[in-house]
Amino acid sequence: MTTGAQVPVPPTTASSDWRRRALAAVSDAGLRSRVLAVVLALVTAVPVVLAAGSDPFEVYRAMLDGSFGSTLAFADVLNRADTFILLGLGIAISIRSGFFNVGAEGQLWLGALGAAVMALHMPGPSWFVLVAALVLGFVFGALWSGLVALLKIAFGVDELISSLMLNYVAILLIGYLTFGPMKAYRAGQTETFEDVELPSIFGNRLHAGFLLSLVAVVCIWLLLSRTRLGYEIRTLGASADAARYAGIHVNGVVMRVALIGGGLCGLAGANAVLGVQHVLLSEFSPGWGYTAIAVALLGGLGPVGVLLAAILFAALEVGATNMQFTAGVPASLGSLVEGLVLVFFLFSIPLTLSRVRAFLRRGPGSAPTVAGETD
Amino acid sequence: MTRRFGPVTANDDVDLDVHVGEVHALLGENGAGKSTLMNIVFGSVAPDAGTLEVDGEPVGWPTTRQAIERGICMVHQHLMLVPTLTVAENVLLSVMWTENGRRMSLAEASRRVTEIGERHGLPLDTSALVDDLSIGEKLRLEVVRSLLQGEIRGGLRVLILDEPTALLTRQEIERLFTILRNLAADGTAVVIITHKLNEVMEVSDRVTILRDARRVRTVPTSSTSPQELGTLMVGRELRPRRVVHSTPSGPPVLDVLGVTVADHHRVVVDDVSLSVRAGEIVGVAGVAGSGQDVLAECITGLRRSTSGAIILSGRDVTRVDRRDLIENDVAHVPEDRKVDGLVGSASLRHNFILGLHRWDEFQRRGWMRGRAIDQHAARLSGEFEIRTRGIDQPAQTLSGGNQQRVLLGRELHKAASLIVACGPTRGLDIAGTEYVWNRLVEQRDRGAAILLVSLDLDELLALSDRLIVMQGGRLVGELPAGEADPERLGLMMGGSAPVAVAS
Ligand SMILES: Nc1ncnc2c1ncn2[C@@H]1O[C@H](COP(=O)(O)OP(=O)(O)OP(=O)(O)O)[C@@H](O)[C@H]1O
Ligand SMILES: [Mg+2]
């Protein structure tokens, strides 16, 4: 399609075409390649463990014990998973519409800021403050990503770049606030707000954040598969030209997706400060917003997949912490495995079963390209 | 060769032999398995069983790269080009090395494209963006690319063309056929897929007919007739159709008043005025890229005109949101279904409501009504005889003709007052074409105004009550159905005939 006298649309349709295709491949890849990726990642980490002078069996046993080994451990995993779930959902829904927002990290920080502001300054009963804090967290995250959408719609700025840049702005902003205007007795953090806390459920093991994220999973599932907006999101994500053909108001959908997706990431931030940290630190997040991109991709950009992938990643992190105590291997092994999972997953996508077969039969270079499309 | 896709058998023990120096036509209904068979030869689809021999030597299952190395090239039904790259860059993508193993440079690719173009009468602007080319030019590019690939491999052994003529005007088709015959004379085996029996008769030396994934027969063209081919292909005798032209007296539904469109400061539609009455089919003839597609985009609200007005049933819709138009009043069969009209990766269910998804029938207060959508999709699949394993099947895994049927089914279901149909039977087999023509005439008789944009003169002549001719963005003539014939239209399209009197 040539441009010119036509109805204005985001000018990135052609350039984001390859992204759309790549992501279609990610969401179409089967469960098999996902499981395979996890297994390969765990196997590949073995030499590293050996090099560190530990017994891999013991290490993985410790990891497993620390994550799925007991109810207590598993509750820990779920409590850790909620951040990844909310972030993963926010990222997944954005990408599903073809809006390649990598600003989850910034939206997460902004959400945390919104929640902290409310928790510190809002008078009233604590349940009320809690709800208000969650809402403001959502709103801050939504606005942060809405800004990205606005730049895209109004000026044609590629969202990949603007959202990434805004991550640094967000982190520096909170750095400034925690060392400056919002500083408590110690630099780099605000006053604590212990009394505004997400309630615990199921005999104090789980905090309500996990429940919140489950609700979000259901809502996003409904949104994508059952609503008109979901239909438009899926159409736009698959083909911008088809969306225009179908009379879909592309800019409107992009904006709404940005608000919802950013809101979910903001909620993740609010949830983290209100449920666990009870204070806003200048080092609030170790980069969850980036890890969550891996979660969203591994989860196939679908709500249920994101839920499972988030639990897996949370288990890796919680398990790795336990392993550090019992087996003496640094917990960063968990991050290593996370990274490997993603790498293997992305590599496994073009490795469809028929290619593997052809490869085994006749050696490399002879595997037929199985056409994804007919003529 | 045998190839199954899940429960669907696309090729069932099909034999085919193509000789050096012949043009071999492959004929069959939509979904008969023609593209699949050729994709197997080209190495882009692996067969479940079967053997492939080139020059008497078994080659196993090739990959596309091996196929190209052996001098087997294919022009696909849906062209395989990168729209954001230029002509020369696209060629360079697939022709990386020269004969003597040097890396080919962009300048060299560009030079050789021009050279081949000149030799074969396939001119191309090597620095143009593929996105800006007309479909006919894109096809030209694919042919040139294949020729160059062949040249580098020391001769094109086999050239496969999957429904190339669907994109071309009569003159272009004739030129292509000359090229194909020359290639054959130079020792290339040419395989061409087409649905047009007269083209088979014209260009081929032998014909192979596929039906329901099996080979029915291979016959020398000289010993057969279009009637016999039709019967072999469909399994029953085909009756030639007759469309009764109408002389509508209804009010004008569509009025286009002095519409001009400038694109990158180039005027692509120049002061065009026309009107279509209720109960009338107005055909728009013109070589590809004469502005007819842009005009269709303006009328259907996909693009804004630079000046002029478009009036639909008395309402000025020049600046109206496309959503308003297509939801009720306008059905639009776009030129390139793969780009606009269908979401390839989505299911038939999804595609059958594309653009209708805001109808109350399919959603209420923002919630989609799954049952109603499923019923709608199932009904249209049946009505348009779409070969599918179910409404969950992704659109892009249907055969080309069946994809077109999905699109038509959806658009004709609208009962719109204006139908803008661009190449509505592109890629359809004979029975399908006949069916669509009947449906269009039915819609006309119901009182719809139909603007038929087509490169196929037979189609235009068969259906149109009135014909207009565009050339270089301008309306250069208008003819009532009775006075039009292919020669006259051809001359007017080329701009070499005296401009006919507008009625
Ligand atoms: N990748 C695929 N997945 C599932 N089914 C497929 C796939 N490719 C082809 N088919 C099915 O195989 C059958 C034959 O398809 P093919 O594209 O070869 O038909 P064709 O003869 O080229 O038809 P047309 O004239 O419509 O282009 C069709 O029923 C089609 O739906
Ligand atoms: Mg085909």
Mean per-residue pLDDT for B101-110? 83
B345 and B394 Cβ atoms separated by less than 8 Å: yes
Query: Is A215's pLDDT higher than 90?
Result: yes
With beta carbons under 8 A apart, name residues in chain A contacting B345: 24, 28, 238
Q: What number does the ligand 1 atom closest to the CA of B37 have?
A: 18
Q: Please tell me the predicted confidence (pLDDT) of residue A12.
A: 39
A231-242 pLDDT tens trace: 999 999 888 889
Q: Please tell me the predicted confidence (pLDDT) of residue A170.
A: 94
Q: Are strands A200-201 and B252-263 parallel, antiparallel or unpaired?
A: unpaired
Tally of CA atoms within 13 A in the half-sphere of B439 that contains its CB? 21
**Distance from Cα B35 to the centre of ligand 1, integer Å:** 7
H or E element at residue B459: helix B457-463
With beta carbons under 8 A apart, name residues in chain B contacting A221: none
A181-208 pLDDT tens trace: 888 777 778 877 877 777 777 666 777 8
Angular region, B336: left φ>0, alpha ψ -120 to 50, beta rest: beta
**Distance from Cα B398 to the centre of ligand 1, integer Å:** 5
Testing ligand 1's pocket by substitution, the residue of B1, B8, B40, B392 carrying the most ligand atoms inside 8 A of its CB is B8
Beta-carbon separation of A7 and B342 below 8 A: no
How high does pLDDT run on average in chain A? 82
pTM of the model: 0.81
B443-473 pLDDT tens trace: 998 889 999 999 888 888 888 999 999 988 8
| Cβ neighbours of residue B239 closer than 8 Å, sequence gap 6 or more | none
Tally of CA atoms within 13 A in the half-sphere of A36 that contains its CB? 15
Mean per-residue pLDDT for B329-354? 87
B146-183 pLDDT tens trace: 888 888 877 788 999 998 887 777 778 888 899 899 88
Beta-carbon separation of A226 and B78 below 8 A: no
From residue B169, alpha-carbon distances to A168, B285, B431 in Å are: 56, 9, 22
Strand, coil or helix: what is B449?
strand
Using CA coordinates, name the residue in chain A closest to B300: A245
| Cβ–Cβ contact B293 with A under 8 A | no
B287 and B136 Cβ atoms separated by less than 8 Å: yes
Q: Please tell me the predicted confidence (pLDDT) of residue A352.
A: 54
In this structure, of A130-134, B18-22, B176-180, B233-237, the range with the lowest mean pLDDT score is: B233-237
Q: Are strands B363-364 and B449-453 parallel, antiparallel or unpaired?
A: unpaired
A265 and A104 Cβ atoms separated by less than 8 Å: yes
Report d(CA B403, CA B480) in Å as an integer: 33
Closest CA to ligand 1's atom 28: B31
**How does DSSP classify residue B497?**
S
| Cβ–Cβ contact B340 with A under 8 A | yes
Q: Phi/psi at A42 (nearest 5 deg)?
A: -65, -40
How many DSSP H helices and E strands does chain B contain? 16, 22
Work out the burial of residue A17: count CB atoms within 10 Å of its CB; fewer than 13 is exposed, 13-18 middle, 19 or more buried: middle
Using CA coordinates, name the residue in chain A closest to B427: A375
Strand, coil or helix: what is B469?
strand
With beta carbons under 8 A apart, name residues in chain B contacting A251: none
**Distance from Cα B332 to the centre of ligand 2, integer Å:** 23
| Cβ neighbours of residue A156 closer than 8 Å, sequence gap 6 or more | A10, A11, A12
Q: Nearest-CA neighbor of A249 among A146, A97, A355?
A: A97
Query: Is B491's pLDDT higher than 50?
Result: yes
Q: Please tell me the predicted confidence (pLDDT) of residue A243.
A: 92
In this structure, of A144-158, A342-356, B245-259, the range with the lowest mean pLDDT score is: A342-356
List the beta bridge partners of residue B304: none
Query: Is A256's pLDDT higher than 90?
Result: yes
Mean per-residue pLDDT for A210-220? 94
Q: Please tell me the predicted confidence (pLDDT) of residue A74.
A: 87
Q: What number does the ligand 1 atom closest to the CA of B388 have?
A: 31
List the beta bridge partners of residue B255: B275, B311
Q: At residue A204, what is the residue type?
A: N
Strands across the sheet containing B280-285 = B330-333, B418-422, B449-453, B280-285, B466-471, B474-480
B375-422 pLDDT tens trace: 999 999 998 888 888 899 999 888 888 898 899 999 999 889 999 999
B434-446 pLDDT tens trace: 888 888 998 998 8
Confidence of residue B43 (pLDDT cuts 50, 70, 90): confident
| B139: closest CA of chain A, how far (Å) | 15
B274-304 pLDDT tens trace: 999 998 999 999 877 788 888 999 999 988 8
| Residue located via tokens 């039977």 | B425
Q: Nearest-CA neighbor of B281 among B432, B499, B484?
A: B484
| A159: closest CA of chain B, how far (Å) | 19
Report d(CA B78, CA B398) in Å as an integer: 13
Query: Is A15's pLDDT higher than 60?
Result: no
Q: Which residues line ligand 1 (CB under 6 A)?
A: A 374-375; B 5, 8, 10, 28, 30-36, 77, 387, 397-402, 427, 429
Tokens encoding B100: 């003597």
Q: Give the number of whichever ligand sits closest to the CA of residue B386.
A: 1
Strand, coil or helix: what is B297?
helix
Q: Nearest-CA neighbor of B357 among A243, A94, A223?
A: A243
| Cβ neighbours of residue B266 closer than 8 Å, sequence gap 6 or more | none
Q: How many CB atoms lie within 10 A of CB B211?
A: 17
Query: Is A18's pLDDT higher than 80?
Result: no
Q: Give the number of whichever ligand sits closest to the CA of residue B7.
A: 1
How high does pLDDT run on average in chain B? 86
**Residues 170-229 in B contacting A (C-alpha not used; CB under 8 Å):** none
Q: Please tell me the predicted confidence (pLDDT) of residue A80.
A: 87
Can you state the angle between helices A250-272 and A208-226, rounded to 10 degrees? 170
Q: Please tell me the predicted confidence (pLDDT) of residue B481.
A: 81
| ipTM given for this complex | 0.80
Beta-carbon separation of B400 and A354 below 8 A: no
Q: At residue A284, what is the residue type?
A: F
| B288: closest CA of chain A, how far (Å) | 15
Beta-carbon separation of B263 and A374 below 8 A: no
**Domains of chain B, earliest start first:** 3-234 (3.40.50.300), 240-329+416-503 (3.40.50.300), 343-414 (no CATH)
Q: Please tell me the predicted confidence (pLDDT) of residue A107.
A: 96
**Distance from Cα B398 to the centre of ligand 2, integer Å:** 9
Q: What number does the ligand 1 atom closest to the CA of B77 have?
A: 27
Beta-carbon separation of A7 and B35 below 8 A: no
Mean per-residue pLDDT for B45-73? 83
Q: Please tell me the predicted confidence (pLDDT) of residue B501.
A: 40
Q: Nearest-CA neighbor of A331 among A43, A53, A49?
A: A49
| Residue located via tokens 């469960």 | A31
Work out the burial of residue B10: count CB atoms within 10 Å of its CB; fewer than 13 is exposed, 13-18 middle, 19 or more buried: buried
| A75: closest CA of chain B, how far (Å) | 35
Beta-carbon separation of A366 and B264 below 8 A: no
Using CA coordinates, name the residue in chain B closest to A235: B343
Confidence of residue B90 (pLDDT cuts 50, 70, 90): confident
Query: Is A349's pLDDT higher than 70?
Result: no
Confidence of residue A90 (pLDDT cuts 50, 70, 90): very high
Query: Is B330's pLDDT higher than 90?
Result: yes
| B243: closest CA of chain A, how far (Å) | 30
Query: Is A8's pLDDT higher than 60?
Result: no
Residue from the list A6, A228, A375 with its beta carbon closest to the beta carbon of B303:
A6
Q: Please tell me the predicted confidence (pLDDT) of residue A363.
A: 44
**Residues 393-422 in B contacting A (C-alpha not used; CB under 8 Å):** 396-400
| A149: closest CA of chain B, how far (Å) | 22
Q: Please tell me the predicted confidence (pLDDT) of residue A3.
A: 36
Closest CA to ligand 1's atom 29: B31
A303 and A92 Cβ atoms separated by less than 8 Å: yes
Confidence of residue B351 (pLDDT cuts 50, 70, 90): very high
- SS3 per residue for chain A: CCCCCECCCCCCCCCCHHHHHHHHHHHHCCHHHHHHHHHHHHHHCHHHHHHCCCCHHHHHHHHHHHHHCCHHHHHHHHHHHHHHHHHHHHHHHHHHCCCCCCCHHHHHHHHHHHHHHHHHHCCCCHHHHHHHHHHHHHHHHHHHHHHHHHHHHHHCCCHHHHHHHHHHHHHHHHHHHHHCCCCCCCCCECCCCCCCCCCEECCCCEEHHHHHHHHHHHHHHHHHHHEHHHHHHHHHHHCHHHHHHCCCCHHHHHHHHHHHHHHHHHHHHHHHHHHHHCCCECCCCCCHHHHHHHHHHHCCCCHHHHHHHHHHHHHHHHHHHHHHHHHCCCCHHHHHHHHHHHHHHHHHCCCCHHHHHHHHHHCCCCCCCCCCCCC
Query: Is B80's pLDDT higher than 70?
Result: yes
Closest CA to ligand 1's atom 16: B33
Mean per-residue pLDDT for A271-297? 88
Query: Is B244's pLDDT higher than 80?
Result: no
Report d(CA B196, CA A339) in Å as an integer: 55
